[in-house]
């Protein structure tokens, strides 16, 4: 399947460059308040996951996964949910462990390869639907691609998936976001993650130490000290190698769309595997020139976000 250099996306004229195209929609986007119904389900290991539903009795369900330190009600999550709901789909926005407003119960929290939690959500939610579709942003995009590549979820009726702004190579993306030009993003993520670890350490003082927390200056440092060991990996490199979606794309057997912008400040060149994309039968890769990270703002006010329209077109028509 050829890699498409998609020329359909046109960014707003005042949003010049990947940083503005990333920051402006993240900070200033306004989305409608949606009538989500919150439900909490129990995981097999005795933890919980918080789910937000928009139900209208449809026969098709879209399950949407958020990015690093996001949650089910971030503007980009509500925007995608609102668009698909308006087209007649039922929606499930779910929160990774510890992201729904309450600290989760186990020492570990979430990570880019925690497909066991995605499987728990799909297993619980798919009943009663004829078709299930997956949409994931950033870390959530990596998660759904890894999930589809490592197993064949027989009986779940998953038909298609869309992954947006995906760090297909976790190691490359971790190093990219730690570049000096990306200090604002890495600082914001680390501040949130460190706060989460300090709260965890209070609940599990025998398992989690914050003695070295001040020395954590990059996301790779954090993954090396906390994410990796807390979730069964030896270190950051082991975690990245085990969980990068790039290593699972060849196992995908349903149509999926990977939508990455070339000027995404979070993504390394290794997150644009054009050579691999040309030989995969079920993986469509569209790499736009612009768009930023989880951006793709509409060219004009009042238009839908381009990523939402493109995701819908791929799922509903392609």
* CA distance to 40, 54, 281, 312, per residue, from 58 (Å): 21, 10, 30, 16
Residue 31 has a pLDDT of 87
Residue 226 belongs to some domain of the structure: no
Residue 5 has a pLDDT of 58
State the residue for tokens 């570990």.
Answer: 108
Residues 6+ apart with CB under 8 A from 263: 17, 18, 21, 289, 290, 291, 292
Residue 153 sits in a domain of what CATH number? 3.40.50.1820
Task: Determine the structural domain holding residue 273 and report its residue range.
Answer: 18-178+244-316
Mean pLDDT of successive 10-residue stretches along the chain, which has 318 residues: 66 94 94 94 97 96 98 97 97 97 95 97 95 98 97 85 98 96 95 95 94 93 96 97 97 96 97 94 96 95 93 92
Residue 188 belongs to some domain of the structure: no
pTM equals 0.95
Residue 76 belongs to some domain of the structure: yes
Residue 99 belongs to some domain of the structure: yes
Residue 181 has a pLDDT of 94
Residue 200 belongs to some domain of the structure: no
Residue 2 has a pLDDT of 55
Residue 266 belongs to some domain of the structure: yes
Backbone angles phi, psi at 122, to 5 degrees: -65, -45
Residue 239 belongs to some domain of the structure: no
What is the maximum alpha-carbon separation in the chain? 54
- Number of folded domains that form the chain: 1
Residue 50 belongs to some domain of the structure: yes
């Amino acid at each position: 399947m050829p890699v498409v250099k998609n020329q359909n996306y046109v960014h707003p004229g005042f949003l010049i460059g990947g940083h503005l195209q990333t920051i402006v929609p993240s900070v200033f986007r306004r989305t409608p308040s949606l009538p989500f119904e919150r439900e909490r389900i129990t995981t097999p290991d005795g933890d919980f996951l918080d789910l937000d539903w928009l139900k209208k009795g449809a026969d098709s369900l879209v399950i949407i996964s958020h990015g690093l330190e996001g949650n089910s009600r971030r503007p980009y999550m509500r925007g995608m949910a609102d668009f698909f709901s308006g087209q007649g789909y039922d929606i499930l926005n779910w929160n990774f462990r510890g992201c729904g407003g309450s600290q989760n119960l186990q020492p570990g929290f979430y990570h880019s390869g925690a497909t066991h939690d995605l499987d728990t959500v799909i297993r619980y939610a798919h009943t009663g639907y004829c078709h299930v579709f997956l949409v994931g942003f950033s870390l959530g995009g990596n998660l759904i691609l890894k999930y589809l590549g490592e197993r064949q979820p027989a009986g779940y009726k998953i038909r298609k998936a869309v992954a947006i702004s995906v760090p297909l190579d976790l190691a490359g993306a971790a190093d990219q976001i730690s570049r000096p030009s990306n200090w604002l993003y890495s600082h914001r993520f680390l501040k949130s993650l460190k706060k989460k670890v300090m709260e965890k350490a209070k609940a599990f003082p025998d398992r989690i130490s914050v003695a070295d927390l001040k020395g954590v200056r990059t996301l790779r440092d954090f993954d090396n000290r906390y994410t990796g060991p807390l979730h069964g990996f030896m270190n950051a490199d082991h975690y990245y190698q085990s969980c990068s979606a790039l290593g699972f794309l060849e196992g995908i057997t349903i149509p999926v769309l990977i939508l990455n912008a070339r000027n995404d400040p979070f993504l390394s060149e290794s997150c644009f595997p054009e050579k691999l994309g040309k030989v995969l039968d079920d993986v469509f890769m569209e790499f736009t020139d612009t768009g930023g990270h989880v951006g793709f703002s509409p060219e004009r006010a009042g238009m839908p976000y381009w990523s939402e329209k493109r995701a819908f077109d791929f799922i509903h028509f392609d």
